[in-house]
């Protein structure tokens, strides 16, 4: 079988051999989307043995391309950060591309990034099918839908070590605007990855939709018998109540009814709230389907660049708010001590360094210090030194004058340092700032002035600096990857946030996050078995991981009072200490599933023992029905 590869076994290897020998694989051996993609790649003459030489853009070209897609990148970054945090420890990377499949940004597992670079899975390289054969990015663009390309399903043999899940992001008029992709080693494949990628793409799509119609009335609508979805149908109407556009979910629900120009009243059967808003009004589509309709004004378009719009926040007045330092007093002594130290520095402009593992809430603490301090009425500028694409970080921080480089805005840009004037500058992941920029930052702090790119004079700035890092800056100084003079300029007081596994207020925190994430929904609560799992878990992703688990659990929740074990994501359950024996690298997917089943049986047995053998009580604790528990007990007894 000359066309067989190590990353394809059984039927997949048979399909490859038949396709490349005879030009067609028998139906059912591979997904139809993969078979169609193989056909396109064969027609294009893509070589099957190795990747074509990657035509990577130069740094200048990538900067220009990223500048052209600035709004997309800046709207996507917060979503990519969340997704990257979910996959950072699982041997995967998260990728954002433009409409052609050119990678604009990537983040995630640094170890896997090295392997990814061997096949040019990195910024500045295009992953359309003509360049790289069948792959999740290029195939999602061609198929106009979410797709998984697993191992040997990749057309090019050298890409067969990958498993990739990608989903397209559509603009308001149905054209592909971007692609979100998660790629990793083929042995690390998780069945839920595509769902998370699709959710991320939908969230970015929603942001793009809202930003595209700043002067319109934005309408959310959904079938009356269903709850409103996070990424449900949306539409934009002009001030006279005529339909401009609908997002993908909206177009799918409306079908031919959603023609451009149709009047709001004709479409929904209720009066258009010109100049006002409406929440959850009952309406009726022309074909008789009942819907619930919410109308709100579109976002106000500011004159700042999209990057600045998302990075600069004018905080509330300096009063005690729900996001202030007082909120840290949730029952954990170490958090209370951090809050006390931070409170003592307010108004003294002492530079602060917040240390802690990823996801412990470093930016949240910085926001609280800003809100409670005398600069609370001034801007709060958050700069993630690890997240801003390398081609943008210098222009983002220092700004630039008109014509400083190709693609620059006609009137130039002030830069984030100047935007923070009078307020707080929060430098997250300061340890990842390039050494050359460290020198420029030190000069800004010493001279209290910033010089934009291409400018011949400096602008004064007055900023209070708060830095954050998941690594010890002192160790980075010793390794000569961080400037010692900058370290002493920044480090007035170090505040160390404890890991979530060390905190005594975990359950209270979980309840608070649940209430926040589900504020508009019917009452739900965690089943006791879920809280037991929360207590036993080591939480490598800390508070960010806890929030992601709760958010995903709500998405998987099928209704009812309880969030039970079936609502928890598989990768989270696989991490629980002592409940699942983690297979070694390269273990079969079936072994992972076996470990999951063993963990679930252990939870069932322990819950039943805690309830004294009372099946009804155990079912309530687990948040499942008695019949379902009986089935699980039968499985536990049989060992399968």
Q: Is residue 7 part of a domain?
A: no
How high is the pLDDT of residue 147?
93
Q: Is residue 626 part of a domain?
A: yes
Task: Work out the pLDDT band at 227, boundaries 50, 70, 90.
Answer: low
Q: Report the SS3 class of residue 371.
A: helix
Domain boundary pick from 297, 328, 350: 297
The answer to whether 44 and 26 are in contact (CB under 8 A) is no
Quick one: 632 and 555 in the same domain? yes
Q: Is residue 6 part of a domain?
A: no
How high is the pLDDT of residue 613?
72
The answer to whether 426 and 384 are in contact (CB under 8 A) is no
Q: Report the SS3 class of residue 50.
A: coil
* CA distance between the termini of the chain: 36
Quick one: 448 and 321 in the same domain? yes
Quick one: 200 and 119 in the same domain? yes
SS3 content of the chain, % helix, strand, coil (to 5): 45, 15, 40
List C-alpha distances in Å: 582 to 206, 567, 571, 603: 37, 21, 11, 17
How high is the pLDDT of residue 277?
63
Domain boundary pick from 496, 528, 546: 496
Closest CA to 268 of 241, 293, 240: 293
Q: Is residue 543 part of a domain?
A: yes
Sign (positive/negative) of CA torsion 304, 305, 309, 314?
A: negative
Q: Which of 35-44, 403-412, 621-630 has the highest mean pLDDT?
A: 35-44
How high is the pLDDT of residue 389?
60
How high is the pLDDT of residue 402?
60
| Mean predicted lDDT score pLDDT of the chain | 79
Task: Work out the pLDDT band at 319, boundaries 50, 70, 90.
Answer: very low
Burial of residue 448 (number of CB atoms within 10 Å: 0-12, 13-18, 19+): exposed
Quick one: 72 and 193 in the same domain? yes
Quick one: 379 and 254 in the same domain? no
Q: Report the SS3 class of residue 320.
A: coil
Find tokens 């499985």 and name the residue. 635
Task: Work out the pLDDT band at 307, boundaries 50, 70, 90.
Answer: very low
Phi and psi at 282, nearest 5°, equal -80, 130
Q: What are 314's strand-pairing partners?
A: 379
Task: Work out the pLDDT band at 31, boundaries 50, 70, 90.
Answer: confident
pLDDT at 241 over 70: yes
Domain boundary pick from 279, 297, 315: 297
The answer to whether 204 and 166 are in contact (CB under 8 A) is no
* CATH of residue 125: 3.30.450.40
* CATH of residue 524: 1.10.8.60
**Position with higher pLDDT, 613 vs 340:** 340
**Position with higher pLDDT, 581 vs 267:** 267
Q: Is residue 112 part of a domain?
A: yes
Q: Is residue 4 part of a domain?
A: no
Quick one: 290 and 325 in the same domain? no
Q: How many CB atoms lie within 10 A of CB 580?
A: 19
The answer to whether 397 and 381 are in contact (CB under 8 A) is no
Sign (positive/negative) of CA torsion 37, 42, 47, 50?
A: positive
Give me Rg for the CA atoms of the chain.
26
Number of domains forming the structure of the chain: 4
CA–CA separation, 356 vs 499, rounded Å? 7
Find the range with the poorest average confidence among 290-304, 413-427, 473-487, 591-605.
Answer: 591-605
The answer to whether 70 and 308 are in contact (CB under 8 A) is no
Structure tokens at 401: 């004058």
Quick one: 232 and 331 in the same domain? no
Quick one: 441 and 348 in the same domain? yes
* CATH of residue 327: 3.40.50.300
Task: Work out the pLDDT band at 308, boundaries 50, 70, 90.
Answer: very low
342-399: per-residue pLDDT in tens?
999 998 889 999 999 988 999 889 999 998 999 988 888 888 887 666 556 667 778 7
How high is the pLDDT of residue 603?
63
pLDDT at 229 over 90: no
Q: How many CB atoms lie within 10 A of CB 192?
A: 14
Angle in degrees, 0-180, between the axes of helices 589-610 and 528-536, rounded to the nearest 10: 120
Q: Which range marks the domain in which residue 554 is found? A: 502-638
Structure tokens at 122: 């990195």
Phi and psi at 162, nearest 5°, equal -95, 150
Q: Report the SS3 class of residue 401.
A: coil
Q: Which of 181-190, 327-336, 456-465 has the highest mean pLDDT?
A: 456-465
How high is the pLDDT of residue 274?
67
How high is the pLDDT of residue 4?
54
Edge-to-edge strand list for the sheet holding 234-237: 243-246, 234-237, 217-223, 290-297, 278-284
pLDDT at 405 over 80: no
Quick one: 124 and 227 in the same domain? no
For 361, half-sphere exposure in the C-beta direction (CA atoms, 13 angstrom radius) is 25
Task: Work out the pLDDT band at 88, boundaries 50, 70, 90.
Answer: low
Structure tokens at 195: 């769902």
Q: What are 180's strand-pairing partners?
A: 96, 167
144-199: per-residue pLDDT in tens?
999 999 888 999 888 888 889 999 999 888 889 999 999 988 777 777 788 888 88
The answer to whether 30 and 37 are in contact (CB under 8 A) is no
Q: Is residue 579 part of a domain?
A: yes
For the chain, give the number of residues: 640
127-144: per-residue pLDDT in tens?
999 989 999 999 999 999
Q: How many CB atoms lie within 10 A of CB 79?
A: 21
How high is the pLDDT of residue 341?
93
Give the mean model confidence (pLDDT) for residues 265-286. 80
Share of the chain above pLDDT 90, in %: 23
Task: Work out the pLDDT band at 210, boundaries 50, 70, 90.
Answer: confident
Quick one: 318 and 443 in the same domain? yes
Closest CA to 614 of 629, 632, 631: 629
pLDDT at 486 over 90: yes
Share of the chain above pLDDT 70, in %: 77
CA–CA separation, 188 vs 581, rounded Å? 15
CA–CA separation, 398 vs 413, rounded Å? 9
CA-based angle 611:615:617, to the nearest 5? Answer: 50
CA–CA separation, 92 vs 427, rounded Å? 26
Query: DSSP secondary structure string, 188-211?
Result: G--TTHHHHHHHHHHHHHHHHHHH
Q: Is residue 253 part of a domain?
A: yes
CA–CA separation, 251 vs 246, rounded Å? 6
Quick one: 485 and 618 in the same domain? no
Quick one: 334 and 472 in the same domain? yes
Find the range with the poorest average confidence among 36-50, 120-134, 216-230, 429-443.
Answer: 216-230
Q: Which of 162-176, 181-195, 284-298, 622-636 has the highest mean pLDDT?
A: 162-176
Structure tokens at 440: 């420029």
CA–CA separation, 80 vs 273, rounded Å? 36
Give the mean model confidence (pLDDT) for residues 504-532. 86
Find the range with the poorest average confidence among 122-126, 255-259, 516-520.
Answer: 516-520
Closest CA to 484 of 492, 475, 493, 495: 475
């Amino acid at each position: 079988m000359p066309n067989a590869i190590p990353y394809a076994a059984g039927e997949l290897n048979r399909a490859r051999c038949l396709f490349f020998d005879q030009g067609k694989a028998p139906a059912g051996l591979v997904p139809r989307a993969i078979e169609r993609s193989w056909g396109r790649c064969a027609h294009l003459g893509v070589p099957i043995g190795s990747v074509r030489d990657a035509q990577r853009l130069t740094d200048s070209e990538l900067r220009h391309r990223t500048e052209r897609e600035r709004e997309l990148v800046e709207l996507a970054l917060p979503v990519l950060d969340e997704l990257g945090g979910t996959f950072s420890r699982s041997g995967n990377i998260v990728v954002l591309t433009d409409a052609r499949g050119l990678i604009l940004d990537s983040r995630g597992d640094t170890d896997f990034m090295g392997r990814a670079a061997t096949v040019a899975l990195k910024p500045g390289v295009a992953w359309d099918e003509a360049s790289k054969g069948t792959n999740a990015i290029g195939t999602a663009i061609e198929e106009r839908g979410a797709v998984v390309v697993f191992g040997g399903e990749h057309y090019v043999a050298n890409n067969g070590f990958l498993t990739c899940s990608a989903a397209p992001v559509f603009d308001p008029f149905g054209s592909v605007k971007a692609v979100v992709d998660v790629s990793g080693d083929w042995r690390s494949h998780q069945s839920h990855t595509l769902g998370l990628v699709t959710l991320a793409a939908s969230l970015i799509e929603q942001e793009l939709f809202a930003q595209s119609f700043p002067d319109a009335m934005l309408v959310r609508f959904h079938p009356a018998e269903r709850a409103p979805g996070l990424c449900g149908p949306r539409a934009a109407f002009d001030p006279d109540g005529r339909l401009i556009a609908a997002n993908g979910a909206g177009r799918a629900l409306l079908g031919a009814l959603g023609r451009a120009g149709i009047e709001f009243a004709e479409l929904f059967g209720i009066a258009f709230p010109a100049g006002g808003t409406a929440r959850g009004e009952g309406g009726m589509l022309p074909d008789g389907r009942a819907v619930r309709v919410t109308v709100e004004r579109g976002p106000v378009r500011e004159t700042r660049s999209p990057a600045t719009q998302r990075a600069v926040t004018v905080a509330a007045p300096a009063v005690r708010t729900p996001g202030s330092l007082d909120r840290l007093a949730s029952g954990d002594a170490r958090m209370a001590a951090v809050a006390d130290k931070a409170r003592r520095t307010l108004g003294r402009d002492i530079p602060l360094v917040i240390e802690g593992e990823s996801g412990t809430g470093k930016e949240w603490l910085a926001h609280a210090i800003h809100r409670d301090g005398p600069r609370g009425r001034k801007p709060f500028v958050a700069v993630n030194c690890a997240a801003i694409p390398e081609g943008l970080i210098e222009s983002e921080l220092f700004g630039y004058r008109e014509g400083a480089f190709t693609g620059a805005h006609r009137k130039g840009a002030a830069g984030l340092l100047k935007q923070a004037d009078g307020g707080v500058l929060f430098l997250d992941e300061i340890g990842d700032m390039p050494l050359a920029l460290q020198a420029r930052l030190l000069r800004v702090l010493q001279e209290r002035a910033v010089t934009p790119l291409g400018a011949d004079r400096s602008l004064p700035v007055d900023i209070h600096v708060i830095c954050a890092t998941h690594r010890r800056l002192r160790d980075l100084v010793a390794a000569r990857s961080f400037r010692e003079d900058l370290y002493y300029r920044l480090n007035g007081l170090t505040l160390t946030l404890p890991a979530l596994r060390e905190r005594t207020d975990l359950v209270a925190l979980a309840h608070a996050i649940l209430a926040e994430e589900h504020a508009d929904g019917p009452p739900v609560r965690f089943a006791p078995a879920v809280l037991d799992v929360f207590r036993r878990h080591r939480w490598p992703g800390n508070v960010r991981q806890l929030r992601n688990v709760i958010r995903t659990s709500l998405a998987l929740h099928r209704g009812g009072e309880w969030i039970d074990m079936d609502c928890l994501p598989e990768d989270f359950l696989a991490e629980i200490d002592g409940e699942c024996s983690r297979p070694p690298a390269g273990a079969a997917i079936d072994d992972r599933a076996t470990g999951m089943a063993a963990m679930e049986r252990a939870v069932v047995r322990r819950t039943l023992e805690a309830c004294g053998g009372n099946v009804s009580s155990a079912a309530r604790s687990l948040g499942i029905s008695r019949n379902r528990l009986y089935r699980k007990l039968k499985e536990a007894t049989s060992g399968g």
